[in-house]
């Protein structure tokens, strides 16, 4: 599994940096965001390093589907599925991506604004 030496999320995957991990399998891990914007704010990331969504090709579309499936299950586990939640993938500079390792935000537990940016 390809990882990047200077990537903070690769370090969470390898255990070099601690993360509050709530789920893991062979392909992905999920952990709590260090600066949560809502009562539930998890990040779902592939173990493999992809810099952003723009690096995803047809080969990895299953991976994105799996990330959505994991997020949906975590929403159930975190008891936010019924009231609703939001999945967000920021891509690149103008997309607001700060950490250059592909990640999906799962946010919920409060009324989120209708604004997308
Ligand atoms: P982005 O803007 O790239 O979509 O979101 C990056 C997210 O990663 C932010 O919500 C930020 O709080 C979170 N984050 C950044 N560094 C760390 C870290 O070391 N640990 C955890 N758990 N979250 C982090
Ligand atoms: Zn990485």
Strands 104-108 and 85-88, how do they pair?
Answer: antiparallel
Q: What separation in Å is there between the alpha carbon of 93 and the centre of ligand 1?
A: 15
Residue 59 lies in a domain: yes
pLDDT at 2: 76
Report CA(99)–ligand 1 centroid distance (Å). Answer: 6
Q: Residue 43's beta-bridge partner residues?
A: 31, 105
CATH of the domain at 70: 3.30.428.10
* CB atoms inside a 10 Å sphere around CB 105: 19
pLDDT in tens, 58-106: 999 999 999 999 999 999 999 999 999 999 999 999 999 999 999 999 9
Ligand 1 pocket list (CB less than 6 A): 8, 19, 31, 33-35, 43, 90, 96-99
Flag whether 1 is in a domain.
Answer: no
Give me the domain span that covers residue 47.
8-107
pLDDT mean across residues, the chain: 96
Residue 116 falls within a domain, yes or no? no
- Assess if residue 58 is contained within a domain: yes
Domain count, the chain: 1
Over the stretch 8-28, which tens digit does the pLDDT of each residue have? 999 999 999 999 999 999 999
With a threshold of 0.85, does the pTM exceed it? yes
Decide if 87 is inside a domain.
yes
Q: Would 117 be classed as within a structural domain?
A: no
- The ligand placed nearest to the CA atom of residue 51 is 2
Whether 49 is in a domain gets the answer: yes
What's the confidence (pLDDT) of residue 58?
94
């Amino acid at each position: 599994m390809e990882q990047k030496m200077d990537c903070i999320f690769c370090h969470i995957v390898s255990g070099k940096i601690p993360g509050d991990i709530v789920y893991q399998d062979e392909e992905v891990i999920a952990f709590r965001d260090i600066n949560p914007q809502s009562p539930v704010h998890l990040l779902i990331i592939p173990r493999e390093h992809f810099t952003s969504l723009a690096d995803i090709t047809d080969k990895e579309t299953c991976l994105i589907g799996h990330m959505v499936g994991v997020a949906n299950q975590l929403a159930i586990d975190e008891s936010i599925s019924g009231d609703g939640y939001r999945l967000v993938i920021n891509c690149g500079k103008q997309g607001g991506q700060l950490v250059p390792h592909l990640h999906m935000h799962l946010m919920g537990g409060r009324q989120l604004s209708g604004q997308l940016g």
